[in-house]
Structure 1
Amino acid sequence: MLSANDKLNSLFQELEHIKEIYADLSAGSIDTNSKMPWTQYKQEYEKFGDGTDSSEFRAIQVELIEEVIYSIMEMLDGYKGLNFEADLIDKNTGESVIQNIQLHDGYREYIEAKKKGEYLNE
Structure 2
Amino acid sequence: MTNEKQRQLFETLKLIKDQWVEISIIKHENCLENKEAQNEIIEAVLYSVMEMIDGYNDNLTFSLDLIDKDTKQSLKEGIELHDQFMNYLYEAEKERY
TM-score, normalized by the shorter chain, greater than 0.5: yes
The normalised TM-score by structure 2 is 0.88
Contact 1:74 1:103 in 2 (8 A): yes
**TM-score, normalised via structure 1 length:** 0.71
Runs of 4+ in 1 over 4 A off after TM superposition: none
Q: Which runs of 5+ in 1 are unaligned?
A: 31-48
1:78 aligns with 2:76: no
Name the % identity.
Answer: 39
1:28, 1:116 → 2: CA distance? 23
> For the Cα contact (< 8 Å) 1:73–1:103, is it kept in 2?
yes
Deviations 1:11-53 (A, max 9, x none): 11111111111111110112xxxxxxxxxxxxxxxxxx3xxx5
What is the CA-CA distance between 1:67 and the residue it aligns to? 0.8
CA deviations on 1:53-92 (whole Å, 9 max, x unpaired) are 5232111101110011111111111111121111110001
> What is the one-letter code of the residue matched to 1:64?
I
Equivalences, count: 94
Residue number in structure 1 paired with 2:75: 97
* Higher RCO, Cα 8 Å, sep 6+: 2
Over the aligned positions, Cα root-mean-square deviation in angstroms equals 1.5
Q: Radius of gyration: which is bigger?
A: 1
Matched, 1:25 2:23: yes
Query: More helix by proportion, 1 or 2?
Result: 2
